[in-house]
Amino acid sequence: ADAAQVIHDLATLITSGRLSQANRELIESTYASVYNEEGKETALQVAQQLIVSSPEFHTTSLVRTTGEARSPSVQAGNLDEQYKAIVYIYGFGGLDSFYMLAPYHTCDDLY
């Protein structure tokens, strides 16, 4: 199968077909490049990684880009002041990547 068909199939399976045309073209060209250099298996892994890092994977609706720059967020408070925060983690059960916290600094041998 050619790159366009592979990415189409992956986008359908992974994002329910929400992958934007711009991201689709980028992933297709990357897939083709890696396929020529390192083979089908590596190209497929790279394509999957790119799709799951796209905005379309992390939403449940269509992503619409406006082309407008985002306004900078306002800095809240003085950074020198102490503060307290309440962190609430609500897990539905099971393992969902949206609710997964992975330690980074204590697991050097895993990353």
Which residues are CB-contacts of 82 (< 8 A; sequence separation ≥ 6)? none
* pLDDT tens-place string over residues 32-88: 999 999 999 999 999 999 999 998 888 877 777 788 888 888 776 677 778 788 877
Asked whether the CA dihedral 6, 10, 11, 17 is positive or negative, the reply is: positive
End-to-end alpha carbon distance in the chain = 33
Residues constituting the chain: 111
pTM confidence score: 0.59
Grouping H, G, I as helix, E, B as strand and the rest as coil, residue 45 is: helix
Residue range 4-22, pLDDT digits in tens: 999 999 999 998 888 999 9
